[in-house]
Structure 1
Amino acid sequence: MRWLTLAAIAALAVFLAGQRVVLAQQPTEIVSVLRPGPLPVTDPFDPAWDEAPAVDVPLGPQAMTIPSLLKLSVPTVRVRSLNNGDQIALLLEWADDTRDDLTVADQQFRDAAAIQFPVGQELPNICMGAAGQLVNIWHWKADWQRDIDQGFQELVNQYPNFFKDFYPGGVTGTPPFTYPTDFDRPEARQFQVGWAVGNPFSVPQRPSPVEDLKAIGFGSLTHKDRQEVGGRGVWRDGRWRVIFTRKLAAPDSESADLRRDQVPVAFAVWNGANQEVGARKQLSGFYTLRIQGQERILGLPRNLVGWLAAGFIGVLAVVVVTLRFLRRRAAAGI
C-alpha cells in the first residue's frame, strides 16, 4: 500500500503546485504548547488560544477513490494546539461562507472536520491507513453540534408542517409528538430502530459532537466502542472554529497514544454547501505534532527523568552528609 501513499502525496503536490503553493515554504511542525491548568476546551474564541502558534495547513482534493472531490472548496485549515501534560486540545479554523449543520433532508450535507493519528509507530497510508496500519480518526460533525446546542434535529425542523398523528403503543404525549422525549419507553423504541440498536447516527442524546473512529483503509471506517474525544464548534462571521480534545493517554488499544513528544497528524475538512460527504473531501499530508512536556531522555519521559534525577541528587546528598558525620565522629575518637 506504500504506492498509494506516494501517489496521494504526488497528487497533492501537483495540485498545490498548480495553486502556486510552494511546499518547501510551509512549516511541517505544529507545536502543542504546554499550558498548566484547565484548557479552553469549550470556547474556541478563548484568548488562551492566542498562546499557541497558528499553522496554516494547505489542503488538496481527495482524488484516490470515489466519490472524489473535483473542485477544492477549502484551501487551508489553521491549526493550534495546547496541552497541560494530561489533556490535549487542538483548534481547527477555516473559512466557510455558509453554516451547514442540518442533515434531515436527503439533499443536505454537513460541514465537518477530522484529525487523523497513526495508532502504531509506522507512518500509515494517508488515506485512512491500510491493512496492518490502524489509524485513529476524530471526526467533528456540524449537525451533531447543532443537536447538542439546540436539541436533536428531526423532520419537523426541516418540514414544520410534518405531522405524526398516531403510534399503536408505548408512545407518550399527544400528536404530533416530540422526539425523543415521547419515545423514551422501551416499547416505543420499536418505531425508532436505529436508536434501539444503538446506531450512533440515530441516538438523539449526543455526549460529544466528535465521533471517535478507527480505520485500516478505504471503506473500513468504524465507530469505536469507547468514545473519549470531546469538542465544540462555533461558526461566526463566515468561519468555523472547532475544538478537539482528549486525554494524552490512549484509552484503549485502538486509540492513538499521544504521550510522545512527536506524533504524525493529518487533517480533513468537508464543505456541506459543496455537497461534500465521505471520501469527497479535502485533506492534508502528514504533519508533525510536537507536544511540549512529552519530550523523552534515554527513552523515558522528561518529567520522569527529572524526578529520578532529583531523587538521585537527594539520595547522594544524604550519603555525603552521612559520610561527613561518620568521619567527624571517627576523627574525634567517638
Structure 2
Amino acid sequence: MSNLEAEPREQVCAPGPVPGTGTEPAGSPASGAADGSAPGPAGARVEVVTSREVPLGGPRAMPVRRTLPQRARSLVGAWCFADHYGPDDVAVTGGMDVAPHPHTGLQTVSWLFTGEIEHRDSHGVHARVRPGELNLMTGGSGIAHSEVTTQDTTVLHGVQLWVALPEAHRRAPRNFQHYAPPLVEFPGGRARVFLGTAFGSTSPVEVFSPLLGAEVEIDAGASVRLALDPAFEHGFLVDRGAPVVDGTALARAELGYLGTGPDSVEVQAGEEPVRLVLLGGEPFGEEIVMWWNFVGRTHEDIAQARADWEAGAERFGTVEGYVGERDRLPAPALPQVRIRARRNPPTAAPR
C-alpha cells in the first residue's frame, strides 16, 4: 500500500536507548496525547499508542487509521508502519484504487479481514489478497506495485504493515510470498500466525529479522494468557472489542505496546469478542529514514530513490496490466528541511 499523503514528513527513527544505562537522550518524548500515546494505569507495563486518521487517496479518499509511526513510538521490532482500515462500504468510500507506486528498503505485509484486493507488481506477480491469507512483498533495492479493490468486494477491512529491512538486507532483490496460515485453537480463542512462531504454529515466510505477526481472537468474557518471547517487544493492535492487556484497557484502533522482558501477558475480553493483530520483534537497532514509500538510512538515500522513480529508472521495474486514470503515482516534493533523529523510549517493560 502507498502512503498517499500529499505532504509526507521525513521521519528519522533512531534505535531506542537501553534503559538504565544513562543513554536516554535529553528531551526524549514522554508519553502523552500530543505524542500519539498515553500511559496505562499506574505501574502498568503497557503503553497505549493512539491512531491518527489519514485519507488514502482517490476522489472519495478512503480513510485509514495510522498507529505507526508516531512521535512517541516509531517502531515495534522492525515493524515501522501500520495502517488499519474498515470495515468500509466501498460504495461509499470508493474502495482502494492505488496506481503503481514504488517501495525501497522494506517488506509490505497485507492482511485482510473482509474484502479482496488485486495486486500487481514489477516482479511479474498478479495475485489476490484475501481474508486470512498473507501477501508479503519485498522491495529492497526497488519494486513497484498497484492495489485495486475487486468488483465483488462490498466491504473492505484489514491492515497494511511495513517491515524495515536491516542494513545487511535492505537492497534485497524483489520478491513476493503468499501464505495461508492454519487456524490454531486454544482455550478461549484462536489465532493465525502469518509471520514467525507462536501458538505452536510457524510461518515459512522469509523475513530478515526476528519477527512475529498473528491475528488473534479472544472469545467474549474469556481471559487468556499468551506466551511471549522475552527478547521481543510487542504491539497489540485492536481491530474489534475492548481488550484489557496486562491490566491496561485498549480501545478499537489503539495499539498497546509492551517492551522486552515479559514471557507472557494476560488478555481479557469484555462482553464483546476481541480481535487484534499481534506484532512482535527484537528491537531494531538501526536508524532509518522514512519518507513517502521509501525506507533508507540517509536523506540522500530518499532523494535518490525519489529521483529514480520520477525518471522511470529500471530499479523499480514496470507494473503490467493496471488500468486506471493514471499509469503511476508521482512522488510528492521532498521536504525542504532535515528532521532530527528521534529515539524510541526504552524498550524494556517496567518491572
- Given the two structures, how large is their TM-score scaled by the length of structure 1? 0.30
Larger Rg: 1
TM-score when normalising by structure 2? 0.29
Bigger share in helix: 1
Q: Which has the larger share of strand?
A: 2
